[in-house]
């Protein structure tokens, strides 16, 4: 079902520009409110956000629209995205909304809906809300709003319950000046770790700026030079995490899946088209089935449900443990991975050594019309020719779900060939859209 505004992870864009203007977000709140009020007598929606300066503006507009349709609103304040998903189920809310653009810079923002139980809204539900955007929706009945004072504590208590004891562990932590800046250090400290946290002073504009899971270089240096046992880096909204071993090497989402799959003896792991070939082959050698989906945790979630699996995720560090939550939670992932590392009797660096990763590159090609590129009659031939350069690797080309980009992923046994193949394919795509 085709949707105009909703992408793979809600509605994203630059705050203050279409579609993320106050006027549009008010209409969106009305449409979502009408959708929910048609399905429940007195629906309740939770709203959480990250630390971007535009969060208050968008939250106010969205809440006004919901309230005008008889939907009660509970503000959770700054809270990681998975915390909002968890509280949706825990508090029995009809839906929830996260105002965040995850790992994107502060100028961007986004609106992501969760349904009952903390699962993402289906494509059909999002399409139904989009239809209501075009309707004239009068105020039906006015609902009330309140601030939920215990949201952060309830979420932290849950993480402490599922986490292992971390006594004696020296942890360097990067919270990306984002939604985990209060919660993550406190949870690790409550579990006994000695925590040295950086990038914990959000000012509305410094979220993800040279920090977090997409920029772990500073944290890696701190771990190496400070003699820490490991590093933990979250993204801006807290659903992703990467770990850093004692040597300053990154343990990506592929490593985290590998560690948990092997230690937990999982029969199946679900990854995406971006997951490294090294992960697929290492799991296969250990008799663990591996399935790929399109990029997006909702597709990983759907595949796990279909196959009866428990563990899946993305290379970015977005990992799902279905027995705990239907969405990725960076703090949870870090804690459960540390429990697996402890149970294995091997340090994190030994696990990084144990997973041979193929050289991989990701090239972003800015384009005015990404769909035109994907429908180009010669694209399939270009991809086949680029793959032939790799000698046993693979190429994937996909449109970004949130930005005007086409992403080229190339991986293979030889690093030089990988970069040459990606560059050759980029030239073809750029020439085609000039």
Of the pLDDT bands very low, low, confident and very high (cuts 50, 70, 90), residue 2 is low
121 contact partners, CB below 8 Å, separation of at least 6: 95, 113, 114, 115, 129
Would you say 284 and 307 are in contact if contact means Cβ atoms under 8 Å apart? Answer: no
The strand order across the sheet containing 145-147 reads: 11-14, 108-114, 95-99, 44-49, 72-78, 145-147
Q: Is the pLDDT of residue 145 over 60?
A: yes
Is the alpha carbon torsion for 223, 224, 229, 231 positive or negative? positive
102 is in an annotated binding site: yes
Residue 228 domain-assigned (yes or no): yes
Q: Is the pLDDT of residue 293 over 70?
A: yes
Q: Are 101 and 120 found together in one domain? A: yes
369 is in an annotated binding site: no
235 is in an annotated binding site: yes
C-alpha–C-alpha distance, residues 104 and 335, integer Å: 25
Residue 2 domain-assigned (yes or no): no
Can you give the CATH number for the domain in which 90 is found?
Answer: 3.40.120.10
298-343 pLDDT, tens digit per residue, is 899 999 999 999 999 999 999 999 999 999 999 999 999 999 999 9
C-alpha–C-alpha distance, residues 173 and 184, integer Å: 8
C-alpha–C-alpha distance, residues 2 and 15, integer Å: 24
Q: Domain boundary at 354, 384, 400, which?
A: 354
Please list the residues that pair with 114 across neighbouring strands.
Answer: 96, 120
The mean pLDDT of 357-373, rounded to a whole number, is 92
Of the pLDDT bands very low, low, confident and very high (cuts 50, 70, 90), residue 210 is very high
Instruction: Quote the pLDDT of residue 371.
Output: 87
3-state secondary structure the chain: CCCCCCECCEEEEECCCCCCCHHHHHHHHHHHHHHHHCCCCCCEEEEEECCCCCHHHHHHHHHHHHHCCCCEEEEEEECCHHHHHHHHHHCCCCEEEEECCCCCCCCEEEEEEECHHHCECCHHHHHHHHHHHCCCCCCCCCCCEEECCCHHHHHHHHHHHHCCCCCCCEEEEECCCCCCCCHHHHHHHHCCCEEEEECCCCCCCCCCCCCCCCCCHHHHHHHHHHCCCEEEEECCCCCCEEEECCCCCEECHHHHHHHHHHHHCCCEEEEECCCCHHHHHHHHHCCCEEEEECCCHHHHHHHHHHHCCCEEECCCCCEEECCCCCCCCHHHHHHHHHHHHHHHCCCHHHHHHHCCCCCEEEEEEECCCHHHHHCCCCHHHHHHHHHHCCCCCEEEEEECCCCCEEEEEEECCCHHHHHHHHHHHHHHHHHHHC
Q: Are 323 and 429 found together in one domain? A: no
Residue 1 domain-assigned (yes or no): no
Instruction: Quote the pLDDT of residue 361.
Output: 95
Residue 242 domain-assigned (yes or no): yes
The mean pLDDT of 389-403, rounded to a whole number, is 88
C-alpha–C-alpha distance, residues 209 and 136, integer Å: 40
Q: Are 178 and 306 found together in one domain? A: yes
Q: Are 287 and 383 found together in one domain? A: no
Of the pLDDT bands very low, low, confident and very high (cuts 50, 70, 90), residue 1 is low
What are the tokens at 301? 């979630």
Q: Are 314 and 344 found together in one domain? A: yes
Can you give the CATH number for the domain in which 418 is found?
Answer: 3.30.310.50
Residue 415 domain-assigned (yes or no): yes
Q: Are 142 and 207 found together in one domain? A: no
C-alpha–C-alpha distance, residues 241 and 239, integer Å: 7
Residue 6 domain-assigned (yes or no): no
Residue 77 domain-assigned (yes or no): yes
Instruction: Quote the pLDDT of residue 166.
Output: 98
Is the alpha carbon torsion for 420, 400, 106, 83 positive or negative? negative
50 is in an annotated binding site: no
Q: Are 309 and 416 found together in one domain? A: no
The mean pLDDT of 139-153, rounded to a whole number, is 94
Q: Are 343 and 390 found together in one domain? A: no
* Catalytic residue status for 275: no
Residue 4 domain-assigned (yes or no): no
Would you say 409 and 361 are in contact if contact means Cβ atoms under 8 Å apart? Answer: yes
99-115 pLDDT, tens digit per residue, is 999 999 999 999 999 99
Instruction: Quote the pLDDT of residue 187.
Output: 99
Quick one: what percent of the chain has pLDDT higher than 70? 99
The mean pLDDT of 249-260, rounded to a whole number, is 98
Instruction: Quote the pLDDT of residue 277.
Output: 94
Peptide bond into 16 cis (omega under 30): no
Q: Are 139 and 185 found together in one domain? A: no
Q: Are 98 and 208 found together in one domain? A: no
Q: Domain boundary at 116, 150, 184, which?
A: 150
Q: Which of 37, 102, 252, 275 is catalytic?
A: 102
8-50 pLDDT, tens digit per residue, is 789 999 999 999 999 999 999 999 999 999 999 999 999 999 9
Instruction: Quote the pLDDT of residue 154.
Output: 98
Instruction: Quote the pLDDT of residue 3.
Output: 77
Domain containing 170: what range? 162-354
Q: Are 340 and 366 found together in one domain? A: no
Instruction: Quote the pLDDT of residue 196.
Output: 99
Instruction: Quote the pLDDT of residue 9.
Output: 84
Q: Domain boundary at 99, 119, 150, which?
A: 150
382-391 pLDDT, tens digit per residue, is 999 999 999 8
337-349 pLDDT, tens digit per residue, is 999 999 999 999 9
Number of domains making up the chain: 3
Of the pLDDT bands very low, low, confident and very high (cuts 50, 70, 90), residue 432 is confident
The mean pLDDT of 402-420, rounded to a whole number, is 93
| 157 or 370, higher pLDDT | 157
Q: Are 169 and 287 found together in one domain? A: yes
């Amino acid at each position: 079902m085709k949707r105009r505004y909703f992408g793979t992870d809600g509605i994203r864009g630059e705050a203050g520009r279409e579609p993320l203007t106050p006027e549009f977000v008010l209409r969106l709140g009305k449409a979502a409110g009408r959708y929910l009020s048609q399905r429940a007598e007195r629906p309740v929606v939770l709203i959480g956000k990250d630390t971007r300066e535009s969060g208050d503006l968008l939250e106010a507009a969205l809440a006004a629209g919901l309230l005008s349709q008889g939907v009660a609103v509970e503000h959770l304040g700054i809270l990681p995205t998975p915390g909002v998903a968890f509280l949706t189920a825990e508090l029995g809310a009809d839906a929830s909304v996260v105002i965040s653009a995850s790992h994107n810079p502060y100028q961007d923002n986004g609106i992501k809906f969760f349904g009952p139980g903390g699962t993402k809204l289906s494509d059909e539900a999002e399409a139904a809300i989009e239809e209501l955007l075009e309707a004239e929706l009068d105020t039906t009945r006015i609902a009330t709003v309140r601030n939920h004072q215990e949201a952060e504590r309830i979420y932290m208590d849950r993480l402490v319950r599922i986490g292992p004891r971390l006594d004696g562990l020296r942890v360097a932590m990067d919270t990306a000046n984002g939604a985990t800046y209060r919660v993550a250090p406190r949870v690790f400290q409550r579990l006994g770790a000695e925590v040295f946290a950086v990038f914990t002073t959000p000012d509305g504009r410094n979220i993800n700026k040279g920090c977090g899971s997409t920029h772990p270089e500073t944290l890696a240096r701190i771990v190496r030079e400070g003699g820490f046992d490991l590093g933990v880096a979250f993204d801006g909204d807290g659903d992703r995490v990467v770990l850093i071993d004692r040597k300053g090497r990154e343990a990506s989402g592929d490593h985290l899946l590998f560690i948990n799959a092997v230690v937990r003896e999982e029969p199946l792991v679900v990854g995406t088209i971006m997951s490294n070939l090294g992960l697929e082959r290492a799991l296969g050698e250990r008799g663990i089935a591996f399935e790929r989906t399109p990029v997006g945790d909702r597709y990983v979630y759907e595949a796990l449900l279909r196959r009866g699996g428990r563990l899946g995720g993305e290379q970015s560090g977005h990992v799902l443990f279905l027995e705990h939550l239907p969405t990725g939670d960076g703090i949870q992932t870090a804690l459960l991975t540390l429990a697996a590392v402890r149970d294995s009797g091997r340090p994190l660096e030994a696990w990084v050594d144990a997973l041979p990763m193929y050289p991989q590159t990701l090239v972003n090609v800015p384009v005015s019309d990404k769909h035109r590129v994907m429908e180009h009659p010669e694209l399939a031939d270009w991809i086949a020719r680029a793959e032939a350069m790799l000698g046993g690797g693979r190429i994937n080309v996909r449109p970004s779900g949130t930005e005007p980009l086409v992403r080229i992923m190339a991986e293979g046994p030889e690093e030089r060939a990988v970069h040459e193949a990606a560059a050759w394919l980029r030239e073809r795509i750029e020439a085609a859209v000039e």
